[in-house]
Chain A
Amino acid sequence: MNLANLGGGAGLALAFGIGIVFGWFLERGGMGDARKLAGQFYLTDFAVFKVMFAAILTAMLGLFWLSRLGWVDPASVFVPETFLLPQLAGGIVFGIGFVMAGLCPGTSCVAAATGRLDGLSAAGGMLGGVLLFGEFFPRLSGFHDSTARGVLTLPEITGSPIGVIIFLVTVAGIGGFAVAERIERVRGAP
């Protein structure tokens, strides 16, 4: 099935369904709790790191092996372009918002859906930011489109085969999990 062939209504319905399932798993994983997420920054709870890196490893290995078996054409996977300075600025703004609210965009929606006031505040702030960005976009568009580097991938940047990159990222992820659990034990995570 080619999802690109779905009509607008069917595509939105599918996205809504995927969003509900995604949000349910986030909530069940405790990702709707700002204290738990903020623990990442105080080195007491690495649940965010473990959830995100586990998702990265699953998607990376899954995509590689599905394409290796001929079930997925990797050329059909969209890879966003790199804009160095705008994305660096966006990352800083995102990080500040994350540590202040204890929630990121997805988890703020999860927290709001479960009736948490901090989640409602963070989601409201996010939507307000989106509106402000839209209003000021004509003034920001020059910066928004600056330092374009096109589509960059680790194999292209390093000149290493994709299999080697997959191996190194997996080792880094598993090593990161081990270090994170050790830190949690030392600092007495909940």
Chain B
Amino acid sequence: MNGACPADARLRRSLAGVALLLAVLAAALGPPLRARDAAVAPIALAERIRAREAGLHIIDVRGDAFDAELTVPGAQPAEPDSPAQWPLDAPSLVVYGLDSPTSEAAWRAARAAGAVSVSWLQGGLAGWVLHVLEPALPPPQTAADSAANRRVAELSRYFGGRARLARPGEVIADSVRDAAAVVRNAGRRGCGPGFE
């Protein structure tokens, strides 16, 4: 080791310098923020809206498909292709589209445009319909399940929705194949026993 030629010593110093530079950049930039870590569940967002959380800004980036009749309460419409015009400096920004992919894409666009405190609504507007306005509650097995169901049903009523008990064998999915149909048929299903 001590008999190393000057070229070896220079190479070692160069490698150490590269390692140090990468380490400084790692400390400065921090770890990557994964999209799934920035997702907010519909029920969680509903609770934040009901609590009138200060600084919470919600934007609906469905663009031409925006329908003021069916939207997340308090959400403002925003042009999907103009993230620079979104309230990127809001203390807590939540973006959503029709479904998870469009909501996640909006989150990426907001991040790329400089937003720091931004999250996306899991399931998009379809997720809001399925989990807040028309939640299918699993049959309770324990007292804790019953309490959780009551909490969701009460939250659903607060936003004008109606919870129901899931049918036997019904799969309660986090995502849907046809989000547009879910949103289109919102409020028209009414099947299954209600949960009071």
Interface residues, chain A, CB within 8 Å of chain B?
45-47, 50, 57, 61, 64-65, 67-68, 70, 161-164, 166-167, 169-171, 173-174, 177, 181, 184-185, 188-189
Q: Which residue of A lies closest to B9 (CB)?
A: A181
CB–CB B2/A163 < 8 A: no
* Interface membership of B20, Cβ < 8 A: yes
CB–CB A184/B31 < 8 A: no
Q: How would residues 95 to 110 of chain B score, 1 for a CB under 8 Å from any chain A CB and 0 otherwise?
A: 0000000000000000
Q: How would residues 22 to 41 of chain B score, 1 for a CB under 8 Å from any chain A CB and 0 otherwise?
A: 11101111111000000000
With a cutoff of 8 Å between Cβ atoms, the chain A residues found around residue B20 in the complex are: 170-171, 174
CA A105 to CA B162, docked complex, whole Å: 64
Q: Which of A50, A61, A173 contacts B22 (CB 8 A)?
A: A61
With a cutoff of 8 Å between Cβ atoms, the chain B residues found around residue A181 in the complex are: 1-2
CB–CB A70/B28 < 8 A: no
CB–CB B19/A161 < 8 A: no
CB–CB B30/A161 < 8 A: yes
CB–CB B31/A185 < 8 A: no
CB–CB A162/B31 < 8 A: yes
CB–CB B26/A167 < 8 A: yes
Question: How far is the CB of A141 from the nearest CB of chain B, in Å?
Answer: 34
CA A64 to CA B144, docked complex, whole Å: 41
With a cutoff of 8 Å between Cβ atoms, the chain A residues found around residue B147 in the complex are: none
Q: Which residue of B lies closest to A187 (CB)?
A: B2
CA A164 to CA B25, docked complex, whole Å: 10
CB–CB A161/B31 < 8 A: yes
* Interface membership of B16, Cβ < 8 A: yes
Q: Which of B1, B19, B24, B32 contacts A57 (CB 8 A)?
A: B19
Q: Which 7 A-B pairs have the closest CB atoms?
A: A170-B23, A167-B27, A163-B27, A163-B26, A166-B26, A167-B23, A61-B22
With a cutoff of 8 Å between Cβ atoms, the chain A residues found around residue B2 in the complex are: 181, 184-185, 188-189
CB–CB B1/A61 < 8 A: no
CA A166 to CA B31, docked complex, whole Å: 11
CA A68 to CA B25, docked complex, whole Å: 11
CB–CB B22/A67 < 8 A: no
CA A110 to CA B16, docked complex, whole Å: 28
Question: How far is the CB of A72 from the nearest CB of chain B, in Å?
Answer: 10
CB–CB B32/A164 < 8 A: no
CB–CB A45/B26 < 8 A: no
With a cutoff of 8 Å between Cβ atoms, the chain B residues found around residue A162 in the complex are: 26, 30-31
With a cutoff of 8 Å between Cβ atoms, the chain B residues found around residue A166 in the complex are: 23, 26-27
Q: Which residue of B lies closest to A162 (CB)?
A: B31
Question: How far is the CB of A159 from the nearest CB of chain B, in Å?
Answer: 15
Interface residues of B in 1-25 (CB under 8 A from A): 1-2, 12, 16, 19-20, 22-24
CA A169 to CA B27, docked complex, whole Å: 11
With a cutoff of 8 Å between Cβ atoms, the chain A residues found around residue B23 in the complex are: 61, 166-167, 169-171
Give me 5 A-to-B residue pairs in the complex whose CB atoms sit less than 8 angstroms apart, sorted by A's number. A64-B22, A68-B31, A161-B30, A163-B27, A166-B26
